[in-house]
């Protein structure tokens, strides 16, 4: 280990911790509505409102390569079934805060939770 090594390690550590703190701060904003957006190939596949905590639903996401099942519960979402080889999207578990997302790279699926500050609902479909 030389001086330059320690400098590089410290620089990267400080940078990534700083980014993490920045994400945390920007994620703690209050939202009136939150909803999950399911995107395939960058196009919106479906939007689900997460305002109702008791709402429970299983959404199949069908792509050309295979099928994943998304479970909506307790005001959040979780991938409970994935046909992709690595199953990383299942390991990411349950998410319920705006800004969080689940990514399935083999199927090019992104599930993202977004918040809405305005009181009126514009584009949320059930």
Output the smallest distance, CB 37 to other proteins, in A.
10
Task: At 31, list the tokens.
Answer: 């939202």
Residues that bind other proteins (CB under 8 A): 1-5, 7-9, 12-13, 15-17, 19-20, 23, 39, 41-42, 85, 88-89, 91-92, 99-101, 103, 105-106, 108-110, 112
Output the smallest distance, CB 54 to other proteins, in A.
28
Among residues 72 and 107, whose Cβ is nearest to other proteins? 107
Output the smallest distance, CB 90 to other proteins, in A.
9
Output the smallest distance, CB 73 to other proteins, in A.
21
Among residues 55 and 112, whose Cβ is nearest to other proteins? 112
Taking alpha carbons only, the member of 38, 40, 60 closest to residue 48 is: 38
Among residues 72 and 113, whose Cβ is nearest to other proteins? 113
Which spans in 3-117 are helix H? Answer: 3-27, 88-91
Burial of 83-93, coded b for 16+ CB within 10 Å and e otherwise, reads ebeeeebbebe
Taking alpha carbons only, the member of 62, 93, 75 closest to residue 36 is: 75
Among residues 53 and 105, whose Cβ is nearest to other proteins? 105
Ramachandran class of 110: left when φ > 0, alpha when ψ lies in -120 to 50, beta otherwise: beta
């Amino acid at each position: 280990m030389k001086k330059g090594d320690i400098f590089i390690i410290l620089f990267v550590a400080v940078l990534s911790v700083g980014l993490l703190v920045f994400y945390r701060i920007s994620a703690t904003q209050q939202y009136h509505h939150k909803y999950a957006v399911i995107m395939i190939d960058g196009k919106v596949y479906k939007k689900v409102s997460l305002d109702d905590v008791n709402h429970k639903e299983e959404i199949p996401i069908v792509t050309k390569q295979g099928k994943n099942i998304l479970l909506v519960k307790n005001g959040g979402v979780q991938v409970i079934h994935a046909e992709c080889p690595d199953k990383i999207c299942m390991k990411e578990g349950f998410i319920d805060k705006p800004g969080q997302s689940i990514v399935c790279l083999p199927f090019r699926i992104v599930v993202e939770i977004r918040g809405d500050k305005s009181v009126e609902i514009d584009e949320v479909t059930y």
